[in-house]
Amino acid sequence: MATFELRPRLRAATIHLLISFVVAGLVALFLLLVWYPSPWREAAGGVKLILIILVVDVTLGPLLTFFVFDRKKKSLPYDLAFVGLLQLSALVYGCYIAADARPAFVVAVGDRIYVTGANAILPESYAAAKDPVFAAAPWTGPVLIGAIVSGSADERFKALSTAMAGADLNEYPAYFVAWSDALPKLLEKSQAAAAVLARSGSEQAKLERWLQQYADLRVVPVKGRFGWYAGLLEPGSGIVVDVLNFDPWPE
């Protein structure tokens, strides 16, 4: 009758856990710095997604190793190879999901900003892009752009049809323009950061620190994957310096 040797199993699982931590750390570093960078990470749903991927991957392999490890088994090398393959498959699938959902474009549309995932834009719609820069979803991080409807009646009718179909301009490359072209309208409709302090809730201290650095800071609504956020826009440079987790829309 086979005996259950606890110490060798724990040792093997611990070694596997350490290796998994190193691999998961490298993957997390890439995802956080390239595909889900600050300040768009939380609005894009990146934190929750990356945590799910890493927790599942880090725990899956070592746990299976603990149960299959038995030095007396002739099939042990094959068992461990299968565990490694299963863990690698889970990691690859998780990275595929992260790539598909990654924020491709941060789109200023009128008085708001949309964090737009790569999977929100139909591949065939890129053919209508007016600029080659907007002809494909970038792989090196989200690109800040605008979306504007031209003054022609035909364009306005198409935009209205798009809205009635349940999609916004941020999902249609045909309307994409440079960030600088959409910035004046965004600034015109923005709110003074000091005016939204009372609505900032748990983010108030962070907002106050930003106001100490930028007295003329503006706030614009940012539509993320799971709701509305507050984008802090520095008017001089036109840069969004941070995105805070509260709804900035006036009550």
β-pair partners for 147: 176
Cβ 1 vs Cβ 70: under 8 Å: no
pLDDT band at 5 (very low <50, low <70, confident <90, very high): confident
Q: What is the pLDDT of residue 166?
A: 47
Q: What is the pLDDT of residue 1?
A: 42
Q: What is the CA radius of gyration of the chain?
A: 24
CA 129 to chain centre: 23
Reported as a single tens digit per residue, the pLDDT across 154-205 is 666 565 555 555 457 899 898 999 999 999 999 999 999 999 998 888 999 9
Q: What is the pLDDT of residue 15?
A: 94
Query: How much of the chain, in percent, has pLDDT values that exceed 70?
Result: 91
Residue 82 predicted with pLDDT over 50: yes
pLDDT band at 153 (very low <50, low <70, confident <90, very high): low
- The Cα 192–Cα 251 span in angstroms is 15
Task: Please provide the average confidence, as pLDDT, over all residues in the chain.
Answer: 89
Tell me the average pLDDT across 53-57: 86
Q: What contacts 242, CB < 8 A, 6 or more positions away?
A: 39, 206, 210, 231, 232
pTM over 0.75: yes
- Lowest mean pLDDT, pick from 55-69, 178-192, 201-215, 220-234: 55-69
Tell me the average pLDDT across 64-75: 87
Reported as a single tens digit per residue, the pLDDT across 93-145 is 999 999 999 999 999 998 999 999 999 999 998 998 888 889 999 999 999 99
Tokens of 45: 């749903």
The CA-CA-CA angle for residues 80, 81, 82, to 5°, reads: 90
Q: What is the pLDDT of residue 151?
A: 64
- The Cα 233–Cα 210 span in angstroms is 10
- The Cα 39–Cα 29 span in angstroms is 15
Tokens of 240: 């969004």
- The Cα 53–Cα 37 span in angstroms is 17
Q: What are phi and psi of 111, to 5 degrees?
A: -100, 10
Q: What is the pLDDT of residue 32?
A: 93
Q: What is the pLDDT of residue 121?
A: 92
β-pair partners for 20: none
Most distant pair of Cα atoms in the chain: their distance = 83
Residue 217 predicted with pLDDT over 60: yes
